[in-house]
């Protein structure tokens, strides 16, 4: 029994660690991949190719199904940066659900958070489309985020969602950043832990650009200059 519990704890710990991308990982050369030519010169390297994101998402979907497969869930997609991850994660959960004995009923809702200008987090976090979320009361909620930095945004969002008294809240984050002042608030399911660099692609933006890029890349200094506001 103790062994079973220790195994469960280990698995849970691994789920919120994710694949660790170390600080000295320079990434793949852009020449090795296809990407929109309008971004040539705007990127330094590919740090997570699209195929790897998809493979990791498939595994996260399985972990989520193992934990929540007996429940119907309300997915709360955090726009805009989380839309691609959420769409792919929901697709993978659907595929697993269709091939399992008990299908999982999912409702998907969207909320929008905005706190970044250029590559800096601003103090004022805006939560849009979340004024009345009484439909969450008594439900199992899966919040889906593209990226978690210090965790302060997630903390604020969790407080907001908790006020509607859901039965359970789990968080899936594709990326968490290794930042010094990270709060204790970490997603339950993490795709990748990345260095503290500004990344774009796979719906993550820099002033609304780069969402139309499949891979997760590091933006170059000239890219930052070009799209600065």
Positions touching ligand HPA (CB under 6 A) are 81, 116, 147, 149, 198-200, 204-205
* Residue 173 interacts with which of ligand HPA, Mg ion, none, CB < 5 to 8 Å by class: none
For every residue of 30-58, DSSP letters joined together read GGGS---GGGTTSEEEEEE-HHHHHHHHH
Q: What are the phi and psi torsion angles at 187 (to 5°)?
A: -60, 155
Q: Containing H/E element for 176?
A: strand 168-177
Minimum Å distance from CB 65 to ligand HPA? 28
Residue 116 vs 189, nearer CB to ligand HPA: 116
Figure out which of the listed residues 19, 182, 205, 226 binds Mg ion, where binding follows CB under 5 A: 205
Residue 145 vs 166, nearer CB to ligand HPA: 145
Please, are residues 203 and 189 in contact by the beta-carbon 8 Å criterion?
Answer: no
* Residue 149 interacts with which of Mg ion, ligand HPA, none, CB < 5 to 8 Å by class: ligand HPA
Q: Count helices and strands (H / E) in the chain.
A: 5, 10
Decide: helix, strand or coil at residue 192.
Answer: strand
Q: Find the binding residues for Mg ion in span 111-130 (CB under 5 A).
A: 116
Residue 170 vs 197, nearer CB to ligand HPA: 197
- Give the interface with Mg ion as residue ranges (CB under 5 A): 116, 205
């Amino acid at each position: 029994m103790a062994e079973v519990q220790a195994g469960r704890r280990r698995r849970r710990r691994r789920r919120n660690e994710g694949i660790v991308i170390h600080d000295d990982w320079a990434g793949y050369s852009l020449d090795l991949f296809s990407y929109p030519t309008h971004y040539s010169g705007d990127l330094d390297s590919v740090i997570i190719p699209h195929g790897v994101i998809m493979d990791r998402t498939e595994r996260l979907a399985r972990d989520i199904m193992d934990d929540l497969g007996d429940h119907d869930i309300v997915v709360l997609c955090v726009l805009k940066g989380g839309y691609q991850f959420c769409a792919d994660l929901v697709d993978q959960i659907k595929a697993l659900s269709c091939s399992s004995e008990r299908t999982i009923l999912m409702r998907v809702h969207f909320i929008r958070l905005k706190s970044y200008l250029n590559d800096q987090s601003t103090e004022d976090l805006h939560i849009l489309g979340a004024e009345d979320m009484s439909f969450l009361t008594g439900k199992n909620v899966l919040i889906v985020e593209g990226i978690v930095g210090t965790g302060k945004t997630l903390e604020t969002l969790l407080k907001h969602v908790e006020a509607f008294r859901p039965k359970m809240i789990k968080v899936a984050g594709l990326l968490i950043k290794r930042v010094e002042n990270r709060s204790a608030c970490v997603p339950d399911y993490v795709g990748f832990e990345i260095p503290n660099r500004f990344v774009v692609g796979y719906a993550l933006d820099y002033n609304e650009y780069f969402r139309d890029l499949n891979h997760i890349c590091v933006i170059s200094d000239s890219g930052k200059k070009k799209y600065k506001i």
